[in-house]
Chains A and B, each alone.
Chain A
Amino acid sequence: MLTDTIRIILADDDEDDRNFFVEAFEEIKIKTIVTTVRNGSELLQQLNDCRNVLPHIIFLDLNMPIINGMDCLKLIRENETFKNVAIAIYSTSSSEEDIENTFVLGANIYIKKPNDFHILKKILSNVVSMNLQFETNGLNKENFLLRI
């Protein structure tokens, strides 16, 4: 599909992580627009601002001040408006319990933050192209689970 640009938003309180994330997307083949916010409350503000077009994928850090990732996830999934937006958890935690919980609460993707920039690029590229598969092929988004 000659797809439009993929819209991405990242909520992460760590500035370095935000910068890495943006840089990684600049280097992958698929065209994206990346917005970043510093916490859950800013994210919800952005999402609820009707002047903004909805993103295709939301990347959520779990440990954030004000509203953490888990609560954000719940709030977003309670709102029908965001039904078709994919949610990717982007966290340093690799606790099996955390991972399964986020999936149960409606996350589609779980990414364990890598330390290596090249691996990050590969992971993000994989996530976007997998999401594209669901968007362009009419696959059932409710069954979209991906753990990397």
Chain B
Amino acid sequence: MDKLEHYQLKYCILNFGEIKFLEEGQEEKIDLFKKDLLDYGIEIIEHQKTILVQKIKDVIKEMIYNENEQIEIKSSAHISEKLGFSYGYLSKLFSEITFTSIENFLIIQKVEYTKYLIVNNHLSFSEIAYKLNYSSAAHLSTQFKNTTGITPSAFLRIIKKRKAIQFHHVN
């Protein structure tokens, strides 16, 4: 924010960490501003499509990680409603930019969250399945296996063995 003032840039703040520059002819200053931000490890996403893809990802993550609020409608309808675009458009755009589909992204995120829960929370598969809205532990297990090629129990066994080796090295 200080940096924006420093270059006397006219801007307003939008959602999701977005800002909009208000005047034309600020390009030179904007370039300097971008260079400064890079020093902080911040990269500016300019591309409109990339921003929208990021928003789709944010909505999906919110759906998965938000434990208090169960979303009753279909995820496609939810994403479309949240972002105000047709699902067909969003879906096409997502695949174009990320080389994967929204459905696939959703599954990968769920599987990653499952891994996290298996490793860190010591929940049973049935508990995780319930938490992530799967109809059964078997369904979760199948999707896990289809996505990673490994069963959840093999995954846990491998991670435990890795930790044992690391522990052995440290001592």
Q: Are B155 and A140 in contact (CB under 8 A)?
A: no
Chain A 102-143, CB-CB to B under 8 Å as 1, else 0, gives 011110001000000000000000000110110011011011
Stretch at the interface among B13-21, B31-39, B65-73, B146-154: B146-154
- Whether, in the assembled complex, A1 has its beta carbon less than 8 Å from a beta carbon of chain B, the answer is yes
Q: In chain A, what residue has the closest Cβ to B108?
A: A133
Kindly state the separation between the CA atoms of A137 and B109 in the bound complex, as whole angstroms: 9
Q: Are B165 and A147 in contact (CB under 8 A)?
A: no
- Whether, in the assembled complex, B116 has its beta carbon less than 8 Å from a beta carbon of chain A, the answer is yes
Q: Are A147 and B99 in contact (CB under 8 A)?
A: no
Stretch at the interface among B3-11, B85-93, B125-133, B156-164: B156-164
Number of interface residues of A (CB under 8 A): 24
Q: Are A139 and B112 in contact (CB under 8 A)?
A: yes
Please give, as numbers and ranges, the residues of chain B lying within 8 Å of A104 by CB-CB distance.
158, 161-162, 165
Q: Are A143 and B99 in contact (CB under 8 A)?
A: no
Chain B 28-62, CB-CB to A under 8 Å as 1, else 0, gives 00000000000000000001001001000100000
- Whether, in the assembled complex, B115 has its beta carbon less than 8 Å from a beta carbon of chain A, the answer is yes
Q: Are B115 and A146 in contact (CB under 8 A)?
A: no
Within the complex, the shortest CB–CB distance from A40 to chain B, in Å, comes to 20
Q: In chain B, what residue has the closest Cβ to A125?
A: B99
- Whether, in the assembled complex, B100 has its beta carbon less than 8 Å from a beta carbon of chain A, the answer is yes
Within the complex, the shortest CB–CB distance from B157 to chain A, in Å, comes to 8
- Per DSSP, are chain B's interface residues mostly helix, strand or loop, or mixed? helix
Q: Are B97 and A1 in contact (CB under 8 A)?
A: yes
Q: In chain A, what residue has the closest Cβ to B162?
A: A104
Q: Are B148 and A145 in contact (CB under 8 A)?
A: yes
- Whether, in the assembled complex, A75 has its beta carbon less than 8 Å from a beta carbon of chain B, the answer is no
Number of interface residues of B (CB under 8 A): 26
Please give, as numbers and ranges, the residues of chain A lying within 8 Å of B99 by CB-CB distance.
29-30, 129, 132
Q: Are B149 and A143 in contact (CB under 8 A)?
A: no
Q: In chain B, what residue has the closest Cβ to A133?
A: B108
Q: Pick the contact of B57: A105, A130, A137, A145 (CB < 8 A).
A: A137
Kindly state the separation between the CA atoms of A147 and B150 in the bound complex, as whole angstroms: 6
Q: Are A133 and B105 in contact (CB under 8 A)?
A: yes
Please give, as numbers and ranges, the residues of chain A lying within 8 Å of B124 by CB-CB distance.
none
Kindly state the separation between the CA atoms of A105 and B98 in the bound complex, as whole angstroms: 30
Kindly state the separation between the CA atoms of A1 and B97 in the bound complex, as whole angstroms: 5
A residues sitting closer than 8 Å to B (CB atoms) are 1-2, 29-30, 100, 103-106, 110, 129-130, 132-133, 136-137, 139-140, 142-143, 145-148
Q: Which 5 pairs of residues, A with B, have the shortest CB-CB distance?
A: A147-B149, A104-B161, A143-B115, A103-B158, A129-B99
